[in-house]
Amino acid sequence: MMTMTSKVAQTIKKYGLLSEGESVLVGLSGGADSVCLLLCLKELGVNISAFHVNHNLRGEESIRDKNFCIELCNRLGIKIYTADIDVKAYCEKNHVSIEEGARELRYKELMSVKADKIATAHNLNDCLETTIFNLARGTGLKGLCSIPPKRDNIIRPLIECTREEIEAYLASKGQGFVTDSTNLEDEYTRNKIRHNVIPVLLGINSSLYSSYSDTREHLMCDEKCLDSMAKEQLARSFISNGTYNAACLEENDMLISRVVASLLKENGIEVSALRINMTIDIIKNGGKYNICQDTYIICNRDKMLLTIEKEAVKVDNITGRIAEIPAKVEYFGKLLTLDKETDFAFQKGIHKQYKGNIIDADKLQGEIILRNRRNGDRITLAGRGFTSKLKVLFNEKIPPQERGKVAILCDDMGIFYVEGFGVDERVKVDENTKNIIIIAIS
């Protein structure tokens, strides 16, 4: 039977995770997975150091974890870096969940230390949980493939090992580890999957992890092949800086979503299903779409050209970033107020109560920007089920001299509120909403 260290060495070789002599920074939480990773890489003679991030979420337990990691590394003669971060404050300011905020800050800290590679302790159990989570939310092939063995300079040598194998390895070494008490609760979605879904699947197939590992490998091969084909099609479509042959982009309808995703990535635009679908519509039918902030996708069907360009912001336009909530911003003699409420309880008729001027704060992404209209602006108003051009909406209700004074709120995903019309479908409150932002104009 293959030893844990041999299995890790095989994974490193299989996916080309390390080159000879490279330095590796291990993300060390003190849990079984990261302790196992640290020991295995040390056994393999890899040049390692460790980094422990204290998220300050569990009081004395967080301090215990930090001390455990320091003592372990001192005993093993491994250099350790530590950082203390305020996850709750970061999440409040950036309107992200605790899980997402902790991950963002953790990787930021890890990236601050000079090392050739950063090793995280994701394992096969994590991959299966992520696949189920993505499947429940709705996903494509990439989401089913789950966590990749490597991404840029981040490597995952335990990606083909199960948690059972990891704990057995530590027991054989007589090596202890710490347990995060929140992993025992069902508050987080991942824990619900771990505690309630996985046991049912194991009851159906006791070889679940072995079967899943084989399936995942097939899926990753298919994903790699299709991704390569899409990139080749995009390369054939390229004409010059920001300009593409629209006919070539859509020559293979089965690949067009992937081609568009590659197009967005290549131009520094974050990929989302909404942006992919809107771009495909522009490619097929022509038109102009404000894909993010001041960036537009324009397709001239007569000349079969698609261009991505930035529109200059005029000095007399209202434009500015709203750094924190609550906020009060004056514009054209009016006052825009944004207030946040926590522990929100959804109830029937809530949208009418607030006249549609409330949004789910946790659905926002990135910075909030206040601006006025731009060519190509569109919004999918909550409850309508279709996307409208702001030009059409304004022509129906707003006098020409007032159209440039209408407040529009955007985040990294685009427009989410238009003064006098309401909020976008993607940010509307629902039964799962916990935190809201109330928008008022006076």
Residue carrying structure tokens 């129906």: 396
Stretch 112-130: mean pLDDT, rounded?
95
Peptide bond into 326 cis (omega under 30): yes
Average pLDDT for 294-304: 83
Place of tokens 């039918």: 285
- As a whole-number percent, the residues of the chain with pLDDT over 90 amount to 49
Cα-Cα-Cα-Cα dihedral sign, residues 141, 145, 150, 151: positive
Which one is predicted more confidently, 217 or 316? 217
Domain extent at residue 348: 319-441
pLDDT of residue 3: 92
Rounded mean pLDDT, 308-335: 75
What pLDDT score was predicted for residue 185? 60
% the chain with pLDDT above 70: 96
Residue 270 falls within a domain, yes or no?
Answer: yes
- 181 with 37, same domain: the answer is yes
- φ, ψ dihedrals at 60, nearest 5°: -60, -30
Residue 239 scores a pLDDT above 50: yes
Q: Look up the CATH number of the domain holding residue 267.
A: 1.20.59.20
Do 251 and 198 fall within a single domain? no
Q: Please check whether residue 19 lies inside any domain of the structure.
A: yes
How many residues does this entry show for the chain? 442
Say what the pLDDT of residue 184 is: 58
For residue 184, the domain's CATH number is 3.40.50.620
Specify the number of domains making up the chain. Answer: 3
Q: Phi first, then psi: what are they for 48, rounded to 5°?
A: -120, 155
Q: Does residue 210 lie within any of the structural domains?
A: no
Residue ending a domain, among 283, 310, 337, is 310
pLDDT tens, residue by residue, 122-170: 999 999 999 999 999 888 899 999 999 999 999 999 999 999 999 999 9
Residue 181 has pLDDT above 60, yes or no: yes
Q: Do 261 and 228 sit in the same domain of this protein?
A: yes
Confidence of residue 312 (pLDDT cuts 50, 70, 90): low
> Is the same domain home to 12 and 71?
yes
Domain boundary residue, one of 204, 239, 267:
204
76 and 38 in contact (C-beta within 8 Å)? yes
The residue ranking higher by pLDDT, 236 or 241, is: 236
Per-residue pLDDT at 196? 93
Q: Given this model, what pLDDT does residue 211 score?
A: 97
Q: Is the pLDDT of residue 28 over 80?
A: yes
Could you give the count of Cα atoms lying within 13 Å of 101 in the half-sphere of its Cβ? Answer: 18
- 118, 37 contact by CB (below 8 A): no
Q: What is the mean pLDDT of residues 16-20?
A: 95
Edge-to-edge order in the sheet of strand 154-155:
80-84, 47-54, 23-27, 117-119, 154-155, 150-151
Tokens describing residue 412:
């990294």
CATH of the domain at 385: 3.50.40.10
Residue 209 resides in a domain: no
* pLDDT value of residue 315: 45
- The whole-number average pLDDT for the span 409-437 is 89
Least confident of 45-54, 73-82, 394-403: 394-403
Where are the alpha helices (H) located in 152-255, listed in sequence order? 163-173, 189-192, 198-204, 208-237, 246-249
Where is pLDDT greater, at 382 or 185? 382
Mean pLDDT of 28-39: 96
- Are 48 and 168 members of one domain? yes
Q: Domain check: are 70 and 198 in the same one?
A: yes
As beta bridge partners, residue 26 has 50, 119
Instruction: Confirm whether 211 is domain-assigned.
Output: no
Residue 98 has pLDDT above 70, yes or no: yes
pLDDT at 333: 82
On average, the pLDDT of the chain sits at: 89
